[in-house]
Structures are given as structure tokens and as C-alpha cells.
Amino acid sequence: MPTEHQLAEELAVAKKPRRLTAKQENFAQLLANGGDLCASYCEAYDTNASVNSSTVKTNSSKAARHLGVAARITELKAELEKGKQKVSKLSPAWVLEKLQNEAGDTKNGTATSRIRALELIGKAKGMFNDDLTVIVKDRSSNEIKDQLLEALGALVGASEAVKLLEAPAPVAHEVLEGTPVPEQENDMSDEE
């Protein structure tokens, strides 16, 4: 394989950068991720088992030395190394910074990605607490009556509140609604 320096010089000399084919790109990806030369070649180029192993060795070696493929492998390895360094520096502050960048990126990001970034920021900051805590306090009937009197007193006056709590339900309904409760009709008729 050519050295990185040789690749850089050859790429600088080339007038037009060559685009890799899909198979070349796949081959470069497999090798950059630590794949075996021959196995990566067979996978990328869909080589079947009937191909002679010496042919696979020769072709995989040629493919790896191809100027564009070799440059791409070097580029991918550098990206992987850079990514490993970034992951080692991963911190909550870094993640929040990246999410804030994504949330504000109106040129490249989609509305969905911006909303998701904002949601994750909000969760990280504890803005969305879905926990509901219900505190049940034991109260006596007198305590409940006093609280009802206080609430009703604020609505209808203290003297009316006392009357309402002591009155039977139809009377209380009449006082609160201003209309008498309709009498329930007897479903059974006296006629036979």
C-alpha cells in the first residue's frame, strides 16, 4: 500500500478527484473498519466461493492499492480515530451543546430533528417531569365539614353554607341551582 504522504502527493497531482464506485466504497469501508483484505473484497465485489483464492488475493491487493480506494481508506481511518477521540471527551455538557446546535440549525436540520433536540434538552434539564405524586392525608369528618363550609362560604356566604350542609340534598340543590329538584315519578301505576 502507498504511504499517506505518497497518496497526498498523487491526489494533489490529479486534476479531477475520481469518484469511487459503490463496490469500491464498500470495500474501503470494510477495510477501514478492520476487515480482512480477501474477505472484504469477496463481500464488496460479490465474489462467490468458486473463484480461485489466488485470484481473490491478487484482485483484493490491486483494489486496495487503487489510488482512490487507498485514499478513501486513509480518510475513513482518520475519521474513525477522530470519532474515538471525540467519544472519549463525551460529557453531558458536550451533548447539550450538540443538541443546542441541532435545535438551532435551520439550514441543515429538519423540523423533526430540531423538535427532538429541544425535547431532549428539556428532559436533560428536568423540564418535563411526568411523575405525579398524590398525598393522601387522613382527615376526620369534622375536618372535611369545616373545609366544605369554608369553600361554600366563599361561594354563597357563611350563613347559607351552614344551611346547605345541614339541609337534605333536594333543598341544597334548590338553593344552589335556584330550581326545585323534580319529584321522581313512581314507575308503578296504581291502576291494574
**So what's the pLDDT on residue 176?**
65
What is the CB-side half-sphere exposure of residue 71 using CA atoms within 13 A? 16
Please name which of 67, 60, 56, 66 lies closest in space to residue 37, comparing C-alpha atoms: 60
Instruction: Identify the three-state secondary structure at position 181.
Output: coil
pTM: 0.40
Q: Is 96 exposed, middle or buried (0-12, 13-18, 19+ CB in 10 A)?
A: middle
Query: What dihedral do alpha carbons 121, 122, 124, 126 form, nearest 10°?
Result: 170
Give CA–CA dist 159/156, Å, rounded. Answer: 8
**So what's the pLDDT on residue 188?**
52
The C-alpha angle 114, 119, 122, rounded to 5 degrees, equals: 125
- pLDDT tens per residue across span 89-147: 677 887 888 888 888 888 877 888 888 888 888 888 888 777 778 888 888 888 888 88
Look at the block and give the residue holding cell 490529479: 14
Q: Of 24-28, 30-34, 84-88, which range is least confident?
A: 84-88
